[in-house]
Amino acid sequence: MRKMSVLLFLALAFIPICKSQSIAHAPTLDVCKADANLWDNQGDFQAYKDNRTKIIIAGRDETPLGRISTNELVERTSEMADCYEETDGGSIYFIVRDFYEGVIADRYEDFIVRHHLVDQFDREDKEGKR
């Protein structure tokens, strides 16, 4: 649980950095609707959830979301956050952003575990290196 909390914090801390590198203006309402409808693919979301254990064991995500780079996921979360703000809280934008942020956090966790960096992370965190 502690590891997941730390990784979620890392993912959320990373997104604002990436957001500044994304689009310079808010997307139009038409773009928001089109992208949200395209990206809110419950079948892909369910496939990812159903295969999460296999992804951890294999070290490879063979689901449709596995074909999307982390950078692209960050750009999508950023756009959905902008759309959420532009529409005074459209729930589809929150749902898509929230799911992609979870996928990003999973990837960070998988990387840290795969490269045996958990102990180093915990040690440095205790030292206040953030």
* pLDDT tens series, the chain, 130 aa: 566 554 545 555 555 545 445 545 678 889 999 999 999 989 999 999 988 988 888 888 889 999 999 999 999 999 999 999 888 767 899 999 999 999 999 999 999 999 999 999 999 999 999 8
Q: How many domains does the chain fold into?
A: 1
Structural domain harbouring 40: 2-20+28-126
- Say how many residues make up the chain: 130
Type of residue at 49: K
Type of residue at 70: T
Distance CA 50, CA 72 (A): 22
Question: What is the reported pTM?
Answer: 0.72
Distance CA 7, CA 57 (A): 18
Report the Cα 78 to chain-centroid distance in Å: 10
